[in-house]
């Protein structure tokens, strides 16, 4: 009898129950809804730097959790389906965070652009 297992590093962790994966139709529905109407949450830990006339805020490491618009979600999903690397996603995620977090959906800090480097993590939540 073969045990179910998950490979973690150099070892094998066995389980007595089958590993439950999300149902594919549920994932597709969540992704489609996020890309067309609801958007999604993103959490990024990275060094953020800014470009803006008159900016007095020096770049620094931050952890930011913010909603992003369906427009950016659609672009992120399109890039992921095209096998983009995480680095390929950085400019799109930075633009999405600039829109929602730093410029409060375009109501302040006109012309601000946020970029990030030294990314420690990016997590998407549908």
Who has greater pLDDT, 86 or 111?
A: 86
**pLDDT score at 16:** 39
**pLDDT score at 55:** 58
pLDDT digits (tens, 9 = 90+) for 58-107: 778 889 999 999 999 899 888 988 999 888 989 999 999 989 998 887 77
Give Cβ neighbours of residue 48 (< 8 Å, ≥ 6 apart).
59, 60, 61, 62, 64, 114, 115, 116
| Mean pLDDT computed over 5-17 | 37
pLDDT digits (tens, 9 = 90+) for 30-52: 667 766 777 889 999 998 877 66
**Maximum average pLDDT range among 13-17, 21-25, 50-54, 88-92:** 88-92
**pLDDT score at 20:** 42
**pLDDT score at 6:** 34
Helical packing angle, 86-97 and 70-81, nearest 10°: 180
Q: How far apart are the first and last CA of the chain?
A: 38
């Amino acid at each position: 009898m073969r045990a179910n297992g998950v490979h973690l590093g150099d070892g094998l962790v066995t389980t007595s129950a089958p590993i439950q994966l999300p149902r594919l139709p549920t994932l597709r529905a969540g992704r489609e809804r996020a890309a067309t109407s609801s958007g999604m949450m993103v959490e990024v830990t990275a060094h953020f730097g800014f470009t803006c006339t008159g900016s007095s805020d020096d770049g620094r490491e931050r952890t930011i959790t913010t909603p992003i618009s369906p427009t950016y979600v659609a672009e992120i999903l399109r890039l992921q389906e095209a096998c983009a690397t995480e680095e390929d996603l950085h400019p799109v995620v930075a633009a999405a965070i600039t829109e929602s977090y730093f410029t409060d959906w375009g109501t302040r800090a006109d012309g601000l652009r946020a970029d990030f480097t030294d990314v420690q993590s990016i997590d998407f939540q549908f």
